[in-house]
Chains A and B, each alone.
Chain A
């Protein structure tokens, strides 16, 4: 028998053995998350009223697999897609989450497509992007067509957790770059942003320990742009600082009140004094704040009713002509079944200065919505890092 034949056979046997083991051994935990957010929007803009049922964004489906690795680590794969905004150019579906995460008690490494750190908090509005200009740092490489460009990116993140509540994170991203010419495909996927995040956060499981402070975070993003006229990377970088906190005004299990606030300072480029397009909007110096006060009624140990009032303001101090934006939103969600809510939201936005040319004078939007969300886990094998048992009775890897 020729030697190479034996060798091939041995190799084949090895391949079969290894592959066979992968099939036979460990069944992972399987997670399924789905959310449907359907709304009827009534917009009043320039004294014209329009009705539309076109808004399904934030509707998403995510599937995750998780298992224990050798030693103390756990690995996870998440694949998720959502329905993009109707006016976006992302097509019918957008893969907003596709990442692998490896973690132990105090270290987390995440790589893939995921949420970027352009905002520190989630606000109790109907849609994630309802107050995008106020809550989120804008991606300067985008042409502004898709709100997803500012919320999701290809990320590489490393976090270290000190004790149980202090998270330090260093992250690098590739933010989507909209090609100059219409219809051209993106070709460069190099990392175009780096940032840091420091956060103190009370784990969700300990929310009834009734601390006043729920979280305090400070973060920064640095977009590596090719700013004309500057050569050093530091000067070319478009920098911003975010500061956010959530405090429990009344940490009562039945009548719960909290307040969250985030301030975003976009250091910007001095030379941007007029805001004529989206590129200027992302690059102009700006300071904005968005704050929400929320009341949550939990009749039977789960949410029954949530009422929130949110508002924000953003100013562009470097603009030649006084430019700012103001926005308020009131939202109400009522639970009509397990995981099933009806929602009503009224928003008012007002723009001044240069922003008026882009967005108009003002806009009122009334949204009636139905929301159904599920979160399921099968084949559960181990506990979460932030479970009460792991936090308060010793961590079991």
Chain B
């Protein structure tokens, strides 16, 4: 009789302990991919890969019981992953379904300048109900992302970001580390009170402005939009008060993030990274938020293999990596230490939900082959009705 069978016949141990931890049920494992941005399937127009992105206002549940109004590409946060091969001809048809302005900026991608998505610099904003077609060639190789560049401070933290992965059939990292599974983690930080107030204020403003625009009544001072710097300076000399002078828009303070998400969710519903003993996994880290994160993995070192998509000449071994806003970093984790290990911001102010620890961007590296008996709780804890490790705890 092996240990497993012995446990089955034992009456002194509760039935619950016979089952693997909830984290490792087949359903839980199958559900893991759902927490990562799913790549979009393009349609082919000749040799052009065509993608369709739209933006709507939706309600996002960051954690069970806490919902906010957000902006979302294709009704999801983050937006769908665009995954193409180097040199592919790309067309993205972007449709604006909201009453706000937007654009899409392709962060880290060598697009023609008129495709760069910066309003008033490379294009006019994509106005309510309108669409814009972005066309470019997928270069360079690596982990990149896309995000809205209109009202960026609000629109990005409201959810308008998604990963853009450019693959190489002859992938240098794959060659070096021989991995199969990979994961994309998009980090963001949200001041949900700022998002709510500013989104309402912007919607209100736009209702007025669209009415005036429709009737061809564009007023440079009212819209705070000028042809040249000289024109602005002249207007100021004649008594015009730019919006920043009196800060006449609400809210008046800079946002102070109080929610920290990975792939649009906070602990305890952040995505977990699955690994097996002896397996290598690649994790693409993208900071689409406004805060710097210091991501630390327990029980392991990992290799930093790419920086802003670019393979580093000599992978660096480390256990904590700094992920600044706008940065993408690829890391390679070797499955060498079986168990369940947390991976989180070591600025633990970001391991909070609405100020409460634990929460935020806390997630776990989970060995699928962790034996259930290693996850057992002591008999005292079982009396509390808990089954096995890890346990979801929200109040430490």
Which A residues are closer than 8 A to B by beta carbons?
A: 205, 208-210, 252-254, 299-302, 338, 380-383, 387-389, 392-394, 396
Contact A394 B200 (CB under 8 A): no
* B residues near A382, Cβ cutoff 8 Å: 196
**Beta-carbon nearest neighbor of B59 in chain A:** A394
B10 to chain A, nearest CB (A): 41
Tell me the bound Cα distance from A396 to B203 in angstroms.
Answer: 17
Partner of A208, one of B68, B193, B208: B208
Contact B204 A393 (CB under 8 A): no
Contact B212 A389 (CB under 8 A): no
Q: Can you offer 20 A-B residue contacts whose CB atoms are under 8 A? A: A208-B204, A208-B208, A254-B212, A254-B217, A254-B222, A300-B222, A301-B205, A380-B196, A382-B196, A383-B69, A383-B196, A388-B203, A389-B57, A389-B69, A389-B199, A389-B203, A393-B59, A394-B69, A396-B59, A396-B69
Tell me the bound Cα distance from A252 to B207 in angstroms.
Answer: 11
- Interface members, chain B 181-198 (any A CB < 8 Å): 193, 196-197
Q: Is B211 located at the chain interface by the 8 A CB criterion?
A: yes
Chain B interface helix/strand/loop/mixed:
helix
Contact B207 A208 (CB under 8 A): yes
Q: Is B248 located at the chain interface by the 8 A CB criterion?
A: yes
Chain A interface helix/strand/loop/mixed:
loop
B158 to chain A, nearest CB (A): 11
Contact A383 B200 (CB under 8 A): yes
Tell me the bound Cα distance from A9 to B58 in angstroms.
Answer: 52
* A residues near B199, Cβ cutoff 8 Å: 389
With A338-B246, A338-B248, A388-B203 known as contacts, the answer to whether A301 contacts B208 (CB < 8 A) is: yes
B239 to chain A, nearest CB (A): 12
B201 to chain A, nearest CB (A): 9
With A389-B199, A393-B59 known as contacts, the answer to whether A253 contacts B248 (CB < 8 A) is: no
With A301-B222, A389-B200 known as contacts, the answer to whether A208 contacts B211 (CB < 8 A) is: yes
Contact A300 B221 (CB under 8 A): yes
Contact A209 B217 (CB under 8 A): no
A254 to chain B, nearest CB (A): 7
Which B residues are closer than 8 A to A by beta carbons?
A: 57-59, 67-69, 193, 196-197, 199-200, 203-205, 207-208, 211-212, 217, 221-222, 241, 246, 248, 251
* B residues near A396, Cβ cutoff 8 Å: 59, 67-69
* B residues near A253, Cβ cutoff 8 Å: 208, 211-212
Tell me the bound Cα distance from A388 to B208 in angstroms.
Answer: 13
Tell me the bound Cα distance from A105 to B207 in angstroms.
Answer: 24
**Beta-carbon nearest neighbor of A380 in chain B:** B193
Contact A387 B200 (CB under 8 A): yes
Contact A388 B246 (CB under 8 A): no
* A residues near B248, Cβ cutoff 8 Å: 300, 302, 338
Contact B211 A389 (CB under 8 A): no
**Beta-carbon nearest neighbor of B193 in chain A:** A380
**Beta-carbon nearest neighbor of B217 in chain A:** A254
Top 10 closest pairs, chain A to chain B, by CB: A208-B207, A253-B208, A389-B69, A388-B203, A393-B57, A387-B200, A208-B208, A388-B200, A380-B193, A396-B67
Interface contacts beyond A205-B200, A300-B248: sample of 11 additional A-B pairs, CB < 8 Å, sorted by A: A209-B207, A253-B208, A299-B222, A300-B241, A302-B248, A381-B193, A383-B69, A387-B200, A393-B57, A394-B69, A396-B69
A296 to chain B, nearest CB (A): 13
Contact B222 A393 (CB under 8 A): no
Contact A393 B69 (CB under 8 A): yes
Q: Name, among B67, B196, B199, B222, the residue most crowded by chain A CB atoms within 10 Å (CB to CB).
A: B196
Tell me the bound Cα distance from A394 to B222 in angstroms.
Answer: 30
Tell me the bound Cα distance from A397 to B243 in angstroms.
Answer: 32
Q: Name, among A299, A302, A338, A388, the residue most crowded by chain B CB atoms within 10 Å (CB to CB).
A: A388
A146 to chain B, nearest CB (A): 37
B53 to chain A, nearest CB (A): 19
B356 to chain A, nearest CB (A): 11
Tell me the bound Cα distance from A171 to B290 in angstroms.
Answer: 50
**Beta-carbon nearest neighbor of A209 in chain B:** B207
* B residues near A254, Cβ cutoff 8 Å: 212, 217, 222
A29 to chain B, nearest CB (A): 10
Tell me the bound Cα distance from A205 to B206 in angstroms.
Answer: 12
A104 to chain B, nearest CB (A): 16
B202 to chain A, nearest CB (A): 9
**Beta-carbon nearest neighbor of B201 in chain A:** A388
* B residues near A338, Cβ cutoff 8 Å: 246, 248
A23 to chain B, nearest CB (A): 16
Tell me the bound Cα distance from A387 to B69 in angstroms.
Answer: 11
Tell me the bound Cα distance from A382 to B354 in angstroms.
Answer: 13
Tell me the bound Cα distance from A198 to B164 in angstroms.
Answer: 54
Contact A380 B57 (CB under 8 A): no
A50 to chain B, nearest CB (A): 39
* B residues near A389, Cβ cutoff 8 Å: 57, 69, 196, 199-200, 203
* A residues near B200, Cβ cutoff 8 Å: 205, 383, 387-389
* B residues near A393, Cβ cutoff 8 Å: 57-59, 69
B139 to chain A, nearest CB (A): 38
B350 to chain A, nearest CB (A): 20
A266 to chain B, nearest CB (A): 40
Tell me the bound Cα distance from A382 to B68 in angstroms.
Answer: 10
Tell me the bound Cα distance from A151 to B390 in angstroms.
Answer: 61
B111 to chain A, nearest CB (A): 32
Tell me the bound Cα distance from A380 to B57 in angstroms.
Answer: 21
**Beta-carbon nearest neighbor of B66 in chain A:** A396
Tell me the bound Cα distance from A392 to B221 in angstroms.
Answer: 29
* A residues near B57, Cβ cutoff 8 Å: 389, 393
